[in-house]
Amino acid sequence: MKGTWKLKLRMWITSILMFTTVYILVMLAGTYLGVGSYMVWMAASLIIVFLQYWFGPSLVKRSMNVRPLSEAEAPQIHKMVAELAQEAGIPKPEVGLSEVDIPNAFAYGRSKRSGHIAITRPILGLLDQDELRAVIGHEMGHIKHNDMIVTTIVSVIPMICYYVALSFMFSGDRDNGGTILIGILGYVFYLIGQLLVLFISRTREYYADEASVEFGNRPAALVSALYKLSYGAARANKETIADLNTNRAFFVNDINNAKNDIVDFRQIDFDGDGRISDEELKRLVSSDVKISKKNGIMELLSTHPDSLKRVKRLGELEY
């Protein structure tokens, strides 16, 4: 797949930075507390990672109100999932229906051997068969790449930094400059870690997009699906968006940025029919896409890539 090595390199560099950050903080905290070995702190961190890894799927299932979707209820969807799993070379994931009032899909689980793909009820009447298959292919890509494990491991690092910061900044030992310094460093590392987690999340989305195309889906079908899903998220009420905010990284697109995404998609929907054709996508590939400073800053704080950059990259996979 085009450009994959660059994405892999970024993933490795970012992961190394994340673990270096938490190692430095744990070492400083352990030294200050007089703990004989940093291994005690590292063991505690690994326990937290394991607990999040083990109970994470159950928490996602509960928070997203997912129930099993039987083959009798949705034979076409099960057929899509089975075919895409065969293309991906992984066991067929469990299929679920999420009763949340926003059109989207997501994957979760501990590994590619215990993967789950869930679709929300509103997506069923919104996307055509090609678009839905492209979206499910995207989620299949997340499972094939073991994104659940990567996300679990890296996302817990900022949390560790945050709790170290709280422990030292409000320890009560205000006269000790070392305590305050470690607390401040912990908070700075927490902010840096959050930005790196978002970067990894955006990188993973590129991987999943490429995987969907690799599994035989048309890039234009996935782009049209993203366009329609943005409209669906933009129509959702604020309470629904707020309730799903902590889980937005699981979705195919960033539901918080839906209105801005629509503005971007309209620029390439040249005939205004609400979908992106192969010809429109081809036209975008040959264009010079420039991202505004505002959108560039917003992308840094988003779980998903800027929509125009993402769409152009999809187009470049085919044209």
Number of other CB atoms surrounding residue 70 within 10 Å: 11
- φ and ψ at 236, to 5 degrees? -70, 150
| Nearest in space to 166 (alpha carbons), one of 130, 195, 139, 190 | 190
Catalytic residue among 139, 210, 280, 299: 139
Strand order in the sheet with 66-68: 66-68, 94-98, 115-120, 105-109
Structure tokens at 264: 């971007």
Give the sign of the dihedral formed by CA 233, CA 294, CA 209, CA 55: negative
Q: What is d(CA 295, CA 246) in angstroms, rounded to the nearest whole number? A: 21
Give every CB contact of residue 150 below 8 A, 6+ residues apart in sequence: 11, 15, 200, 204
User: Is 316 a catalytic site residue?
Assistant: no
Q: What is d(CA 84, CA 212) in angstroms, rounded to the nearest whole number? A: 9
Q: What is d(CA 40, CA 30) in angstroms, rounded to the nearest whole number? A: 8
- Active site members: 139
